[in-house]
């Protein structure tokens, strides 16, 4: 019998046996958030710990989806299975026509060794930060040895999510300023491997030079710090993903970084740090739920009106609401 | 005597008399967050309410800064004063070389009727969402009649901030897919005016057609809804900001939208909704501070270790920490 639509226990049991429809439904629960997401995540946590996660990020239009497709092809050529989680800023249109750039990934849609999922989580602060690790955990529990996490690399939450992988690949394009834009978006700090995609276009050499220059600067900062000889200089790989070029070299670089993390003990450190970040985020989110309770209460409307009329200011009003809420809950 | 570096009361009093160095210092306090930001924001709130805010957003490289510069030129030509708040994803490099694309704005740097400020607020969730309205409030208290708020239009927090203006201008470029990328980033929903910048490049007609098509769809959705005849269809303006073309038409569109908001009573509604959003955000942030207290406590380390060893899961651990914290505080 098929598991009930929303029974987390049955879904997790089924997805562990390779049931893709159970996997898809479990991910939908995670995407929706709330108690269902929590239950699925907790159950999945008990059956995971083996997947290696690779984040893939860059500006809109950098060719992330095409590159993801090239990496899938490379992994399949090596006989490896892979799951892909593509995180998009959502919009009323996400369901339909504008997913055109996902089309290439559908090359692999009928391949049993590949699982691809688009995930849209906009609307609440911190939603993405919690949903992404839960979704990875579910894919891990389903037995995916490799999980590719594709996100758009602009925006503070999105960059944090992209950086929360075992290996993070940052994609830039040739042309003046692209490396600089990546640095401005905070991508330099999270990159373990750089890809210059569309490397057949003019300007690849300049982009490489810009990246090398910025790396020289950060690496010398690191060397002066505590990390010492365990520091890793991100290699710069050139690809033309639309023609299937460079996926092999990129994957070798990912494996090189993985070996480095394992050799130096940094993989365990990184994962422990990620758990710490997640714990903090969960605590914040729980308190946010409490905040929503406050914002839904009677006092809120009255104090909101007082701020609109400038009889009080937002911070004063918030203080009064928080005080009333602590009184009520104790 | 010059006000003390960090005395909010003296700073706000001084910035209201036109003291630019006090204004700059007040904005630095807001940027840093915490008690200083709170004090400055509260004091400024009492002296504001007159500024009209215009958000200007779009993908990296769309030419937002150049366009902002063109709008400044247009306003100055009309004898109007203006303040600009340019919000960048920060990076260790923000202070220095990579601010090259801000150079054009420096055309106006010595003009007394223009105040330009770059603001970098990365690192904590929600930081940007709180700092932006506080900074606008300070500029308002300083007497700026127009405040331009320039943000990069990708990422959930950034899009929210861009949408939190009286009029929001969304900048796209000619070329296949740019309008689609904007829609994916959630910019369609927040746009009151569209700009196709670099309109002398090929593809402007296609981009206009894409935008019109998407607007047809959303407008028909709106017309079926409650907004009825008060709905506004965002005009599409073409500019070549690098050559100073189109700033006048853009500004006329902004004024048209402003007149629409005032005529329909939507300006007051919008501002009331913004205050509500801000109140919620402040409450969430206050509870986040509590969460940081929890994460700094003794129990945190022990439970973190338990999760790393998979003896418990992150949600279970968070529950225990929250329970311990409520017990301690009551």
More confident position, A3 or A163? A163
Looking at beta carbons, which residues of chain A come within 8 Å of B89?
154-156, 159, 184-186
Rounded to whole angstroms, the Cα distance separating B33 from B134 reads: 10
Cβ–Cβ gap B184/A98 under 8 Å: yes
Q: Give A278-295 pLDDT, tens digit per residue.
A: 888 888 777 777 777 777
Contact check, Cβ <8 Å, B61/A125: no
Q: Is residue B125 part of a domain?
A: yes
Q: Is residue B273 in a domain?
A: no
Q: Is the pTM of this model over 0.95?
A: no
C-alpha distances (whole Å) from B81 to each of B112, B115, B165, B194, B252 are 8, 9, 18, 23, 16
Number of domains in chain B: 3
Element (H or E) spanning B235, and its range?
A: none
Compute the distance between CA of residue B274 and CA of residue B268 in angstroms, rounded to an integer.
Answer: 10
Q: Give pLDDT tens digits for A187-211.
A: 888 999 999 999 999 999 999 998 9
Six-digit token string for A260: 């480095």
Same domain, B300 and B167: no
Q: Give A222-247 pLDDT, tens digit per residue.
A: 555 444 456 899 999 999 998 889 99
Residue B259: predicted pLDDT: 97
Distance CA A103, CA A107 (A): 7
On whether both A73 and A26 belong to a single domain, the answer is: no
Q: Are residues B69 and B5 in the same domain?
A: no
- Whole-number Cα distances in Å, A175 to A172, B107, B241: 9, 26, 21
- The answer to whether the CB atoms of B126 and A129 lie below 8 A apart is no
Nearest-neighbour CA in chain A from B204: distance (Å) = 18
Cα–Cα–Cα angle for A94, B186, B82, rounded to 5 degrees: 170
- Quick one: B4 and B147 in the same domain? no
The answer to whether residues B30 and B62 belong to one domain is: no
**How much of chain A exceeds pLDDT 70, in percent?**
82
Single out the residue of A200, A214, A118, A17 nearest to residue B96, CA to CA. A214
Of A278, A290, A308, nearest to B287 by CB-CB distance is A290
Per-residue pLDDT at A110:
57
For B99-108, the CB contacts below 8 A with 24+ separation are B100/A180, B101/A177, B101/B65, B101/B66, B102/B65, B104/B65, B104/B66, B104/B69, B105/B65, B105/B68, B105/B69, B105/B72, B107/B69, B107/B73, B108/B69, B108/B72, B108/B73, B108/B76
Q: Does B136 reside within a domain?
A: yes
CA distance linking residue A105 with residue A84, whole number of Å: 10
Report whether A254 contacts A248 (CB < 8 A).
Answer: no
Whole-number pLDDT of residue B227:
47
8 A C-beta contact, residue B144 and residue B81 = yes
Low-confidence ranges of chain B (pLDDT < 70): 1-6, 88-111, 120-127, 154, 176, 220-230, 325-330
**Per-residue model confidence as pLDDT tens digits over A44-90:** 988 888 999 999 998 877 888 889 989 999 999 999 999 998 875 53
Last residue of a domain, one of B47, B65, B84: B47
Residue A291 located in a structural domain: no
B185 contacts on A by Cβ (under 8 Å): 60, 89, 91, 152
B166 token code pair:
């009286």
A63 and A204 both lie in a single domain? yes
Contacts of A272 in chain B (CB under 8 A): 304, 308
pLDDT of A104 above 70: no
Q: Check: CB of residue B105 under 8 Å from CB of residue B84.
A: yes
B98 CB neighbours in chain A (<8 A) are 180, 183-184
CB contact under 8 A, A278 and B180: no
| Mean pLDDT of the A270-283 span | 87
User: Over chain A, what is the mean pLDDT?
Assistant: 81
A and B: number of Cβ contacts within 8 A: 231
Residues B31 and B58 in one domain: no
CATH code: domain of residue B101: 3.40.50.300
Predicted confidence at residue B329, as pLDDT, reads 46
Note whether B300 contacts A: Cβ–Cβ < 8 A.
yes
Q: Does A265 touch chain B (CB under 8 A)?
A: no
A225 and A316 fall within a common domain:
no
Residue A268 has φ and ψ, to the nearest 5°, of -65, -40
Which of A137, A318, A322 should be substituted to probe chain B, the one whose Cβ sees the most B Cβ atoms within 10 Å?
A318
Q: Which domain holds residue B2?
A: 1-47
Q: Residue B288 domain-assigned?
A: no
Are the C-beta atoms of B186 and A122 separated by less than 8 Å?
Answer: yes
- The full length of chain A comes to 330
Q: How far is B77 from chain A (nearest CA, A)?
A: 32
**Within an 8 Å CB–CB cutoff, is residue B271 touching chain A?**
yes
Give the list of residues 6+ apart from residue A3 with CB closer than 8 angstroms, or none: A10, A11, A13, A14, A22, A25
Residue A97 pLDDT more than 90?
no
For A:61-100, CB contacts with B below 8 A are 61, 88-94, 98, 100
pLDDT reported for residue A16: 93
How many whole angstroms separate alpha carbon B291 and alpha carbon B121?
20
Residues A34, A144 share a domain? no
Q: Are residues B164 and B235 in the same domain?
A: yes
Q: Is residue B256 part of a domain?
A: yes
On the question of pLDDT at A329 being above 50, the answer is no
Q: What's the pLDDT score for residue A223?
A: 55
Question: Is the domain of B309 the same as that of B215?
Answer: no
Q: Which of A129, A291, A304 sits opposite B275 (nearest CB)?
A: A304
Interface check for A321 against chain B (CB to CB < 8 A): the answer is yes
| Residue at A278 is within a domain | no
pLDDT, position A263: 95
Residue B255 lies in a domain: yes
Q: Do the Cβ atoms of B114 and B70 come closer than 8 Å? A: no
A121 shares its domain with A243: yes
Please tell me the predicted confidence (pLDDT) of residue B88: 57
> Strand, helix or coil at A237?
strand
Lowest mean pLDDT among A96-100, A184-188, A259-263, B243-247: A96-100
Nearest CA in chain A to B318: A283
């Amino acid at each position: 019998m098929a598991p009930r639509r929303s029974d987390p226990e049955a879904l997790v049991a089924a997805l562990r046996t390779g049931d893709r429809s159970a996997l898809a439904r479990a991910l939908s629960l995670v995407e929706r958030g709330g108690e269902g997401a929590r239950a699925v995540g907790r159950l999945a946590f008990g059956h995971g710990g083996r997947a290696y996660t690779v984040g893939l990020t860059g500006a809109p239009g950098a060719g992330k989806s095409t590159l993801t497709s090239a990496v899938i092809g490379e992994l399949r050529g090596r006989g490896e299975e892979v799951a892909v989680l593509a995180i998009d800023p959502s919009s009323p249109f996400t369901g339909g026509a504008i997913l055109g750039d996902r089309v290439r990934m559908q090359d692999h849609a009928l391949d049993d060794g590949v699982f691809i999922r688009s995930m849209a989580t906009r609307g609440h602060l911190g939603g993405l930060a919690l949903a992404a690790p839960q979704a990875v955990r579910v894919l891990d529990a389903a037995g995916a040895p490799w999980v590719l996490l594709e996100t758009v690399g602009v925006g503070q939450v999105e960059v944090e999510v992209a950086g929360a992988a075992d290996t993070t690949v940052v994609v830039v394009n040739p042309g003046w300023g692209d490396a600089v834009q990546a640095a401005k978006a905070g991508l330099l700090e999270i990159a373990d491997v750089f890809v210059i995609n569309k490397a057949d276009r003019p300007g690849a050499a300049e982009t490489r030079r810009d990246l090398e220059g910025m790396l020289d600067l950060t690496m010398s900062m690191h060397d002066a710090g505590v990390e010492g000889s365990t520091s890793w200089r991100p290699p710069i790989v050139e690809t033309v993903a639309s023609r299937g070029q460079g996926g092999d070299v990129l994957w070798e670089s990912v494996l090189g970084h993985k070996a480095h993390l394992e050799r130096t003990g940094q993989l365990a450190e990184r994962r422990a740090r990620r758990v710490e970040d997640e714990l903090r985020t969960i605590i914040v989110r729980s308190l946010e739920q409490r905040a929503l309770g406050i914002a839904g209460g009677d006092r809120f409307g009255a104090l909101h009106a007082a701020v609109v009329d400038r009889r009080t200011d937002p911070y004063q009003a918030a203080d009064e609401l928080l005080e009333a809420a602590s009184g009520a809950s104790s």
